[in-house]
Protein backbone atom coordinates (compact mmCIF):
# COMPACT_ATOMS: atom_id res chain seq x y z
CA UNK A 1 0.00 0.00 0.00
CA UNK A 2 1.12 3.56 -0.68
CA UNK A 3 -0.18 7.04 0.10
CA UNK A 4 -1.49 9.14 -2.78
CA UNK A 5 0.48 12.23 -3.82
CA UNK A 6 -2.72 14.31 -3.84
CA UNK A 7 -2.79 14.00 -0.06
CA UNK A 8 0.79 14.97 0.81
CA UNK A 9 -0.03 18.60 1.58
CA UNK A 10 -3.20 17.78 3.53
CA UNK A 11 -1.50 15.04 5.53
CA UNK A 12 1.47 17.29 6.35
CA UNK A 13 -0.83 20.13 7.41
CA UNK A 14 -2.92 17.77 9.54
CA UNK A 15 0.19 16.36 11.23
CA UNK A 16 1.47 19.85 12.08
CA UNK A 17 -1.96 20.84 13.45
CA UNK A 18 -2.24 17.68 15.55
CA UNK A 19 1.27 18.12 16.96
CA UNK A 20 0.53 21.74 17.81
CA UNK A 21 -2.76 20.88 19.50
CA UNK A 22 -1.06 18.02 21.35
CA UNK A 23 1.57 20.40 22.73
CA UNK A 24 -1.14 22.87 23.74
CA UNK A 25 -3.12 20.06 25.32
CA UNK A 26 -0.19 18.91 27.46
CA UNK A 27 0.60 22.48 28.48
CA UNK A 28 -3.02 23.17 29.48
CA UNK A 29 -3.33 20.01 31.58
CA UNK A 30 0.24 19.83 32.94
CA UNK A 31 -0.70 21.42 36.26
CA UNK A 32 -3.99 19.68 36.91
CA UNK A 33 -5.19 16.16 37.58
CA UNK A 34 -7.56 15.82 34.59
CA UNK A 35 -5.62 13.00 32.97
CA UNK A 36 -8.80 11.38 31.66
CA UNK A 37 -9.73 14.52 29.73
CA UNK A 38 -6.12 14.85 28.53
CA UNK A 39 -6.09 11.36 27.05
CA UNK A 40 -9.61 11.76 25.65
CA UNK A 41 -8.51 14.80 23.66
CA UNK A 42 -5.34 12.99 22.56
CA UNK A 43 -7.44 10.05 21.36
CA UNK A 44 -9.66 12.35 19.31
CA UNK A 45 -6.63 14.05 17.72
CA UNK A 46 -4.95 10.73 16.90
CA UNK A 47 -8.17 9.30 15.44
CA UNK A 48 -8.56 12.35 13.23
CA UNK A 49 -4.99 12.02 11.96
CA UNK A 50 -5.48 8.32 11.21
CA UNK A 51 -8.72 9.02 9.30
CA UNK A 52 -7.02 11.65 7.13
CA UNK A 53 -4.08 9.39 6.36
CA UNK A 54 -6.26 6.35 5.57
CA UNK A 55 -8.33 8.41 3.14
CA UNK A 56 -5.30 8.80 0.86
CA UNK A 57 -4.27 5.15 0.92
CA UNK A 58 -3.86 3.33 -2.39
CA UNK A 59 -3.70 -0.45 -1.82
CA UNK A 60 -1.71 -2.57 -4.24
CA UNK A 61 -4.08 -4.71 -6.35
CA UNK A 62 -3.84 -6.80 -9.47
CA UNK A 63 -6.36 -6.35 -12.29
CA UNK A 64 -6.94 -9.89 -13.60
CA UNK A 65 -9.49 -9.18 -16.33
CA UNK A 66 -9.78 -9.61 -20.08
CA UNK A 67 -10.07 -7.16 -22.96
CA UNK A 68 -13.88 -7.32 -23.06
CA UNK A 69 -14.35 -6.87 -19.31
CA UNK A 70 -15.39 -3.51 -17.86
CA UNK A 71 -13.63 -3.17 -14.51
CA UNK A 72 -14.92 -1.17 -11.58
CA UNK A 73 -13.11 2.21 -11.50
CA UNK A 74 -13.64 2.93 -7.80
CA UNK A 75 -14.33 1.43 -4.38
CA UNK A 76 -17.80 1.93 -2.98
CA UNK A 77 -21.44 0.87 -3.19
CA UNK A 78 -23.53 0.52 -6.36
CA UNK A 79 -26.44 2.95 -6.01
CA UNK A 80 -27.73 3.13 -9.61
CA UNK A 81 -28.13 0.55 -12.38
CA UNK A 82 -30.59 1.86 -14.97
CA UNK A 83 -31.15 2.89 -18.57
CA UNK A 84 -30.85 6.66 -18.98
CA UNK A 85 -30.47 9.37 -21.62
CA UNK A 86 -26.83 10.50 -21.65
CA UNK A 87 -26.91 14.07 -22.97
CA UNK A 88 -23.34 15.31 -22.68
CA UNK A 89 -21.49 13.13 -25.18
CA UNK A 90 -23.50 10.24 -26.61
CA UNK A 91 -26.87 12.02 -26.68
CA UNK A 92 -28.67 8.70 -26.66
CA UNK A 93 -29.68 5.96 -24.24
CA UNK A 94 -27.04 4.19 -22.16
CA UNK A 95 -26.88 1.97 -19.10
CA UNK A 96 -25.73 4.01 -16.13
CA UNK A 97 -23.95 2.38 -13.19
CA UNK A 98 -23.19 4.72 -10.28
CA UNK A 99 -20.83 3.96 -7.41
CA UNK A 100 -21.05 5.99 -4.20
CA UNK A 101 -17.78 6.45 -2.30
CA UNK A 102 -17.93 7.23 1.41
CA UNK A 103 -15.04 9.05 3.11
CA UNK A 104 -13.81 5.64 4.34
CA UNK A 105 -13.37 4.25 0.82
CA UNK A 106 -10.22 4.37 -1.31
CA UNK A 107 -10.67 7.41 -3.56
CA UNK A 108 -8.18 6.72 -6.34
CA UNK A 109 -9.94 6.07 -9.69
CA UNK A 110 -8.84 3.63 -12.41
CA UNK A 111 -9.52 3.11 -16.12
CA UNK A 112 -12.24 0.45 -16.56
CA UNK A 113 -11.13 -0.60 -20.06
CA UNK A 114 -8.21 -0.32 -22.44
CA UNK A 115 -8.49 1.95 -25.47
CA UNK A 116 -8.01 5.46 -26.78
CA UNK A 117 -9.08 8.43 -24.70
CA UNK A 118 -11.37 10.38 -27.05
CA UNK A 119 -12.97 12.96 -24.74
CA UNK A 120 -12.04 14.74 -21.51
CA UNK A 121 -13.99 17.65 -20.05
CA UNK A 122 -14.14 19.34 -16.65
CA UNK A 123 -17.38 20.97 -15.49
CA UNK A 124 -17.48 23.40 -12.56
CA UNK A 125 -20.71 23.10 -10.57
CA UNK A 126 -22.51 22.68 -7.29
CA UNK A 127 -21.72 20.45 -4.31
CA UNK A 128 -24.97 18.61 -3.71
CA UNK A 129 -24.76 15.39 -1.69
CA UNK A 130 -23.36 12.68 -3.96
CA UNK A 131 -26.52 10.54 -3.88
CA UNK A 132 -28.76 13.43 -5.01
CA UNK A 133 -30.41 12.64 -8.40
CA UNK A 134 -29.08 15.87 -9.94
CA UNK A 135 -25.51 15.54 -8.65
CA UNK A 136 -24.45 13.79 -11.88
CA UNK A 137 -25.45 16.82 -13.99
CA UNK A 138 -25.25 19.78 -11.58
CA UNK A 139 -22.21 19.10 -9.39
CA UNK A 140 -18.55 19.75 -10.12
CA UNK A 141 -17.49 16.82 -12.30
CA UNK A 142 -15.17 15.52 -14.99
CA UNK A 143 -16.23 13.34 -17.94
CA UNK A 144 -13.85 10.96 -19.72
CA UNK A 145 -14.59 8.74 -22.73
CA UNK A 146 -12.47 5.75 -23.78
CA UNK A 147 -12.93 4.00 -27.13
CA UNK A 148 -12.51 0.24 -26.96
CA UNK A 149 -10.78 -1.80 -29.70
CA UNK A 150 -14.28 -2.98 -30.74
CA UNK A 151 -15.14 0.70 -31.46
CA UNK A 152 -17.53 0.78 -28.51
CA UNK A 153 -17.12 3.77 -26.20
CA UNK A 154 -17.83 4.14 -22.50
CA UNK A 155 -18.05 7.36 -20.51
CA UNK A 156 -17.12 7.58 -16.86
CA UNK A 157 -17.71 10.65 -14.76
CA UNK A 158 -16.15 11.75 -11.49
CA UNK A 159 -18.75 13.62 -9.44
CA UNK A 160 -17.94 15.79 -6.42
CA UNK A 161 -20.18 15.62 -3.35
CA UNK A 162 -21.08 17.87 -0.45
CA UNK A 163 -17.72 17.14 1.20
CA UNK A 164 -15.58 16.48 -1.88
CA UNK A 165 -14.33 19.85 -3.09
CA UNK A 166 -11.67 18.87 -5.57
CA UNK A 167 -11.60 16.50 -8.51
CA UNK A 168 -8.22 15.45 -9.88
CA UNK A 169 -7.90 13.73 -13.25
CA UNK A 170 -4.91 12.88 -15.42
CA UNK A 171 -6.51 11.48 -18.61
CA UNK A 172 -5.68 13.30 -21.87
CA UNK A 173 -7.39 13.15 -25.25
CA UNK A 174 -5.44 10.99 -27.68
CA UNK A 175 -3.58 9.08 -24.98
CA UNK A 176 -3.90 5.34 -24.53
CA UNK A 177 -5.95 4.21 -21.53
CA UNK A 178 -4.79 1.01 -19.86
CA UNK A 179 -7.30 -0.99 -17.86
CA UNK A 180 -6.52 -0.76 -14.14
CA UNK A 181 -4.19 2.24 -14.38
CA UNK A 182 -5.04 5.32 -12.34
CA UNK A 183 -6.79 8.19 -14.12
CA UNK A 184 -7.74 10.39 -11.18
CA UNK A 185 -8.59 11.00 -7.54
CA UNK A 186 -11.51 12.64 -5.73
CA UNK A 187 -10.90 14.23 -2.36
CA UNK A 188 -13.45 13.00 0.21
CA UNK A 189 -17.02 11.63 -0.30
CA UNK A 190 -18.14 11.44 -3.94
CA UNK A 191 -19.33 9.14 -6.73
CA UNK A 192 -18.42 7.70 -10.12
CA UNK A 193 -20.97 7.30 -12.94
CA UNK A 194 -20.22 4.85 -15.76
CA UNK A 195 -22.27 4.94 -19.01
CA UNK A 196 -22.23 1.73 -21.05
CA UNK A 197 -23.69 0.61 -24.40
CA UNK A 198 -27.18 -0.89 -24.09
CA UNK A 199 -25.97 -4.33 -25.18
CA UNK A 200 -23.46 -4.57 -22.30
CA UNK A 201 -23.88 -7.56 -19.97
CA UNK A 202 -24.18 -6.16 -16.44
CA UNK A 203 -22.51 -8.09 -13.62
CA UNK A 204 -23.53 -5.97 -10.59
CA UNK A 205 -26.76 -4.86 -8.97
CA UNK A 206 -27.87 -2.03 -6.68
CA UNK A 207 -26.49 -2.48 -3.18
CA UNK A 208 -23.37 -4.40 -4.21
CA UNK A 209 -20.12 -3.42 -2.48
CA UNK A 210 -17.49 -3.12 -5.20
CA UNK A 211 -13.74 -2.57 -5.37
CA UNK A 212 -11.64 -0.85 -7.99
CA UNK A 213 -9.65 -3.21 -10.24
CA UNK A 214 -11.05 -6.35 -8.58
CA UNK A 215 -14.80 -6.19 -9.40
CA UNK A 216 -16.19 -6.61 -12.92
CA UNK A 217 -19.03 -4.17 -13.55
CA UNK A 218 -20.00 -5.58 -16.96
CA UNK A 219 -18.63 -7.07 -20.15
CA UNK A 220 -19.12 -6.64 -23.90
Mind giving me the DSSP string for 32-49? SS-HHHHHHHHHHHHHHH
| Cα dihedral: 51, 131, 88, 94 (round 10) | 110
**Which residues have C-beta within 8 Å of that of residue 182, sequence separation ≥ 6?**
58, 108, 109, 110, 111, 170
- The one catalytic residue in 135, 142, 143, 190 is 190
Q: Which helix (DSSP H) or strand (DSSP E) does residue 136 occupy?
A: helix 135-138
> What's the Cα-to-Cα distance from 30 to each of 20, 24, 39, 89, rounded to whole Å?
15, 10, 12, 62
Residue 141: closest CA among 106, 167, 111: 167
Active-site residue flag, 30: no
DSSP 141: E
Residue 210: closest CA among 115, 79, 111: 79
Cβ neighbours of 61 (radius 10 Å): 14
Residue 40: closest CA among 31, 29, 50: 29
Q: Which residues are catalytic?
A: 190
Amino acid sequence: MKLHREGYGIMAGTLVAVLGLTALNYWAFSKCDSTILLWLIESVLLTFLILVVQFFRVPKRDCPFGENDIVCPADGKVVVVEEVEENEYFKDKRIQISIFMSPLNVHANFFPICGETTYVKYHPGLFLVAWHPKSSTDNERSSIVVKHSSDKEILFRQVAGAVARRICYYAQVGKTAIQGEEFGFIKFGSRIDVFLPLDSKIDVKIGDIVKAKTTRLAHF
